Amino acid sequence: MNVIETANLVKDYALNGLTVNALRGVSLSFEKGEFAAVAGPSGSGKSTFLHLVGCLDTPTAGAISLGGRETHSMKRKDLALVRRETIGFIFQAYNLIPVLTALENVSMPLVLLGKGRAETRERSLEVLDRVGLAGMEDRRPKEMSGGQQQRVAIARALVKKPALILADEPTANLDSKTAREILELMLALNKTEGTTFVFSTHDTLVMEYARRLIRLRDGMVEEEERR
């Protein structure tokens, strides 16, 4: 069973009285354990695609299936449940809560799932250790480098053991050395955990690491390459 499957996915936006065709009939599927990148220039539709399959937005037309569950026709509260239970997100701006420590940021998804305090702390510390942040659990985002903050964001995405992690331009705010370290970390986690990673990016370094590269242009699949 595919982790993601889309059929003729369309997304239109109204902008200043005009209709913008962000996606125009995108049909793609991703198997468990893929390490894939959806690439393209600004306005190609790559981030829109991630937002739709991540249940952060709804399509104008077409179908989306996550793990065999059709999401395109779900109500908002059901979409929120799918996001909470099955998807981890990594964003270019990290999206950490400034007043919380690294441990508290990572723990948040488990708190929202109603996990017990002891289990939440144990699992959060374990995943912080796996991303190389053991001993830094009490630091707040402002006390950490950009690379360390992105590692916290990765830990937060991993802590609930999602079937799918969506990473929207995860290296955009990092220097090339740190970006390579972060990609090596995510690739290692992909191999050891079997977690499916799908990136949106215009970073050639991310494209270099991806084992499958899908290029979008003007809201349509232009070409696809498997390594």
Percentage of the chain beyond pLDDT 70 is: 100
- Residues 139-197: pLDDT tens digits? 999 999 999 999 999 999 989 989 899 999 988 888 899 899 989 988 998 998 889 99
> For residue 6, is pLDDT > 80?
yes
Which CATH number belongs to the domain containing residue 204 in this structure?
3.40.50.300
Domain of residue 81, residue span: 4-226
On whether the CB atoms of residues 90 and 168 are closer than 8 A, the answer is yes
- Residues 192-223: pLDDT tens digits? 888 999 999 999 999 999 999 999 999 999 99
Total number of domains constituting the chain = 1
Q: What is the pTM of this model?
A: 0.90
Express the helix, strand and coil content of the chain in percent, nearest 5 each.
Answer: 35, 30, 35
